[in-house]
């Protein structure tokens, strides 16, 4: 039997083994990009909310502002105490189902110094 005849089908077998691994790596990489995007959105929303709270906008208005900018299901906490306004945003980013990975929790916090004359609470 010749060498070429014995090697027939080995390329197909190698692809069959390697292709699922490549697909999994691609899916996990895309999930990583998605997590980074959610982190940026949460950070930007928390900063905008902290600035709005520091200017003296009502806390419900600040919550609505932040909620529009973050993914659905995000938890938003706002506080204004003393001379600081703080906004915390927390959201879970689920992994693609085929990976079997646990969801990641993304957190963002922003603090701003309140303007003179802004009431606490």
**Residue 49 — pLDDT band, cuts 50, 70, 90?**
very high
pLDDT score of 46: 97
Q: Is 101 left (phi over 0), alpha (psi -120 to 50) or beta?
A: beta
Q: Is residue 118 part of a domain?
A: no
Total domain count, the chain: 1
Contact 37, 70 (CB under 8 A): no
Inform me whether the pLDDT recorded for 20 exceeds 90. no
50 Cβ neighbours under 8 A, 6+ residues apart = 85, 86, 87, 110, 111, 112
* Residue at 119 is within a domain: no
pLDDT tens track for 61-104: 999 999 999 999 999 999 998 899 999 999 999 988 767 788 89
* Domain range enclosing 33: 3-113
In a domain, 85, yes or no: yes
Q: Is residue 121 part of a domain?
A: no
Q: Is residue 120 part of a domain?
A: no
């Amino acid at each position: 039997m010749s060498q070429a005849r014995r090697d027939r089908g080995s390329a197909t077998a190698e692809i069959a083994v390697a292709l699922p691994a490549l697909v999994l790596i691609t899916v996990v990489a895309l999930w990583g990009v998605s997590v980074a995007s959610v982190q940026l959105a949460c950070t930007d929303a928390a900063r905008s909310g902290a600035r709005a709270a520091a200017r003296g906008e009502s806390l419900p208005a600040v919550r609505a502002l932040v909620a529009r900018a973050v993914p659905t299901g995000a938890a938003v906490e706002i506080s204004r105490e003393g001379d600081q306004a703080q906004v915390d945003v927390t959201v879970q980013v689920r992994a693609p189902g085929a990976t079997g990975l646990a969801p990641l929790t993304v957190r963002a916090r922003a603090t701003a110094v309140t303007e003179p004359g802004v009431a606490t609470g």
